[in-house]
Amino acid sequence: MSKMPEIALASSECGLAALSLWFASRLTVFYRKNFSIQEHIRPWVDLGMMGLAMWCYTCKRNDISRQSHLFLCACSVVESIRRVDSLEEIFKSLLVASSFYLASTETVAVLSWAAVCIMATTQLLRWPPGLKAYLRSLRTVCGPSYAILITGACQRESCGDISTDLFLRLPLLRSPSLLECATFSSLLASIAFRPDNKELWRILPGVSKRGFIPSETRQKHVHATLMILSYICMVAKFIALDFDNPWKVTGYVLISCSSIGLILGAAVSFLHDRTMMQSDRYEGPDEEEQQGLLLIEEDDEKEHPDEEPTPQSSTRKFWSNDDRKDSESRIENGGRGLSSIRSTFDPHQRSFGRNPCIDESSSNLPVISIPLRRDSSFCSVRSNVSYETFHTSTAIRRIRFQVVVWYIGAPDEVNGRVEMKFRVTIFWNAPADKDDEVGYGMNNPYHKRVWKMHGRQRAYETNLSEVGDNDRIIYVPPVSILNAVEFDLLGEAEVCRLNTTENLMKWSALYRASLLQDNMNVGEFPHDEHDLVLRLGILKHRQRRKRWDKRIWKLDLATREDTEDTIENPHGTIVNHVKVPGFNHGKRDLEFEFLPLQFDAERDPMALDECLQVKLRVRRESSYFDRNIIPLLACLNTVAVSTLALRAKEFGARGEMILATSFVEIGIRMTVDSRLPVVGYQIKMQFVLNNFFFGLVFLVLESSLVYLLEDGGYIHSAVLYDRMAAIAEVLHMIATLYIYYRGSGAFCDSNCFQRRVMTELSDSPKREREMSSSSLGV
């Protein structure tokens, strides 16, 4: 009987450790920079595991046996560790768990205060800069430990001990003490005013819509102020405590070091921020900037020859059904290029392919009515002799694309191909005769002799067909399908002149092509989504001073003036009758974006070539598996669990029923395998089928184990193990169903679509900056 309190104490300590680790793993996930409530929070699972850990901490000896208690504690620990991803997060979880354990234990007050001093030193030491950089990773790992230890000390002071209502029973009916002020400040700073994440502000009702979310700079200032206030209150309380001399000296040394580093670091940061604000302050445009003139010249001697332009700087996205209002937009480009651009959109021009700031018709020089900030890293803009200039010998011209999709075949996920039938139409303003030599390239249109191949090793020179002296020659941009494995031209290409005044030309051709898709992955089968991609570009004669010089002829999308309002979306569309076999696609139109050519050898960012990417998002139809296969497997495993109601001595009857169920599942598995794509990795459907079968194997092995226990006289243990096995298998089945259904049905339609829409909305300013930067050549 004397061992009963020791066993109960050990069980309580194990429960406290499980609760600490659960709390630490959730805090580790919360303090990720990319933390999102929709992606990282699972309410029912988290609440269930928290209740299990709390019950393990508070349960008595008479409630449950020691083995069962340890088993439940182990389940809580496994679930906690499973949520972290990297080794750094595991260390962070263990450190936070130890902090929580110290804060919940009354007998280690001195050690808790020493840990508080250490955490405060790592968090607040900001000077010298070398030591600050050295402690950056340590600050990341031990971030929330300071607030946890301060909170535990506050609870111990106010309540005398730590009970099950930790962090809930705060003394609010009297004047706050120093520790309470330190606790409140640290919790508010570490939760509400995190400088690296604003997720909590976005979920508050009305805050995001009304624009009340604080900026990152303001969050940093509030966070620093609250942490300094908490630190001062903690230091004052530590001085008032009565510790032994060695601990007192250690605490004073740590406090002195962190205080000196905090004061000097705050002074250095303040001076640095003030200097940056003064240097970034705009002093007003000079005369040429007020006129808005920007000369574009050829930059033969580059300022940064060794710097590679990033592909993101040239990416422009166009969304199909954007009927944007005519307004004035302010685009902030941080760090590189133009920092402040204020452009006025033409009410008659609805295409965002052209830059509305550039007047291409009146002059060879683009006219930009904006003040320019002079901090570009690739090329700098100047209105006086102190700036570098670059120029081109003629105005920028546009080759405008329109794509209409008529047919899409069944995608081949294994080989990454899809068959597509589409019409490509291009519009361009052909240059006049006087522009032939400059804008059209140094090519003689009357040169009638060309080289032709004879076999594979010889070529001969021959004459072109007769061209009259008075015949006019119009060169058509040579369109290339970049991701086509093979293609056929259906019929003949059509070319016509739409406008004689502006010499507006139209070329159109109908293709059937087998397109290579390099991003297909069926790991989430049958809930996988794919982007069917078509890439178009112009590759021939794109060198300098050639016919389609890429510095002069830029790719763009068709406008309403080109199509004369014959189609709702001038960029292109997908015909209503198009159905992708086995897949669904939304009613949204195609998505268009311009990407830099990966194989372009040009190092000048002004001369980077682009290609047009047309993309359609499709999602597989999964109703056959969702409503027929998975519910049947769940019913079979439920029947197998019900066999545990038989006594352990009836092991033969149990085994026969479970094995009969397993044979039925094997037959279903063979039928389903014929519908699965054959790839070199495991897909989600195979993982689910394996887990259902492994559940049956687990029940058979458990039945044999309890049969041996009951045969040896351990009847009560056998019944307990049967109950635990039934609960474990039911939980395993629920987890398997959750893994399968979390990406299908209404859950995916609402959550995934909302997440995608929020991502697009949050990235819209970035897309506008990229469009503006690409149009201006920055």
pLDDT at 96: 64
CA end-to-end distance (rounded Å), the chain: 82
Average pLDDT over residues 646-659: 90
DSSP H or E segment with residue 235: helix 216-240
CB half-sphere exposure, 42, CA atoms < 13 A: 12
Residue 371: Cβ within 10 Å count = 18
pLDDT at residue 609 greater than cutoff 80: yes
Candidates 428, 290, 315, 439; CA nearest to 367 is 290
Whose structure tokens read 């970035």? 766
Report H helices in 479-622: 560-563
| Structure confidence at residue 285 as a pLDDT band (50, 70, 90) | very low
CB 755 within 8 A of CB 38: yes
Can you name the CATH fold of 624-743? Methane Monooxygenase Hydroxylase; Chain G, domain 1 (1.20.58)
Name the residue with higher pLDDT: 717 or 61: 717
pLDDT at residue 389 greater than cutoff 60: no
Cα-only R_g, the chain: 35
DSSP H or E segment with residue 530: strand 529-538
Residue 306: Cβ within 10 Å count = 6
pLDDT at 195: 66
Between β-strands 591-596 and 504-516, what pairing exists: parallel, antiparallel or unpaired?
unpaired
Measure the CA–CA gap between 401 and 408, rounded to whole angstroms: 20
| Structure confidence at residue 741 as a pLDDT band (50, 70, 90) | confident
CB 42 within 8 A of CB 85: no
CB half-sphere exposure, 681, CA atoms < 13 A: 9
* Per-residue pLDDT tens over the stretch 299-327: 333 334 344 444 444 445 544 444 433 33
582: left (phi over 0), alpha (psi -120 to 50) or beta: left
Backbone phi, psi, residue 451, to 5°: -100, 140
pLDDT at residue 232 greater than cutoff 80: no
Distant-in-sequence, close-in-space partners of 434: CB < 8 Å, separation ≥ 6: none
CB 593 within 8 A of CB 610: no
Name the residue with higher pLDDT: 45 or 652: 652
Average pLDDT over residues 334-362: 36
* Per-residue pLDDT tens over the stretch 670-726: 999 999 999 989 999 999 999 999 999 999 999 998 888 888 777 777 888 888 899
Of 58-67, 242-251, 620-629, the least confident = 58-67
Backbone phi, psi, residue 187, to 5°: -65, -40
pLDDT at 664: 93
pLDDT at 466: 61
Residue 22: Cβ within 10 Å count = 26
| Structure confidence at residue 486 as a pLDDT band (50, 70, 90) | very high
pLDDT at residue 752 greater than cutoff 50: no
Average pLDDT over residues 718-743: 87
pLDDT at 630: 94
| Structure confidence at residue 551 as a pLDDT band (50, 70, 90) | confident
| Structure confidence at residue 175 as a pLDDT band (50, 70, 90) | very low
Q: Which range among 7-16, 107-116, 137-146, 154-163 has the greatest average pLDDT?
A: 137-146
Does pTM top 0.85 for this prediction? no
CB 214 within 8 A of CB 189: no
pLDDT at residue 390 greater than cutoff 50: no
Backbone phi, psi, residue 59, to 5°: -70, 155
Domain boundaries, the chain: 1-86, 105-281, 624-743
Which residues partner with 462 through β-bridges? 450
> 3-class secondary structure for 701-734?
HHHHHHHHHHHCCCHHHHHHHHHHHHHHHHHHHH
Average per-residue pLDDT for the chain: 67
3-state class (DSSP) for residue 683: coil
3-state class (DSSP) for residue 463: strand
3-state class (DSSP) for residue 315: coil
